[in-house]
Amino acid sequence: MITFKHKGNFNKSEYFLTHAKRVDYVSILTRYGDIGLRALESATPKDTGLSANSWSYKVNKTQRGVSIEWSNSNKTPNGTPIVILIQYGHATGDGGYVQGEDFINPAIKPVFDDISEKLRKEVSRL
């Protein structure tokens, strides 16, 4: 048999969680959505510039939380995003292979780091 004894209360935890819900996560992620968009645009290899200019982002708010999603609308005829082919490489029509170039991760990592730091500071202010 397992027993559990508790002394005290959860007032501090309840206070923190109640106030953490009041942080405006949507505006914070919208700001970083713009920052990430500029980072991805400038890091995208440019031939015609179409892929670099095809980035967008969306902030999604659900009952479970808030998220940010970056996407690129420049696609091949079969629907594959061109930036994925650039990032990971691809076969050519004549049997060759084009090596991928990791440009997304280095561009977006500082943005993720800044988001993490900003949210940590916002929540710790409570």
Q: What is the 3-state secondary structure (H, E, C) of 26-81?
A: HHHHHHHHHHHHHHHHHHCCCCCCCCHHHEEEEEEEECCEEEEEEEECCECCCCCE
Domain-located, residue 9: no
**Whole-number percent of the chain with pLDDT over 70:** 99
Average pLDDT value for the chain: 91
Domain-located, residue 30: yes
d(CA 43, CA 72): 13
Can you give the residue range of the structural domain that contains 44? 24-73+103-124
- pLDDT tens, 1-47? 777 777 778 788 787 777 777 788 999 999 999 999 999 999 999 98
Domain-located, residue 40: yes
Domain-located, residue 15: no
Global pTM value: 0.80
Count of domains observed in the chain: 1
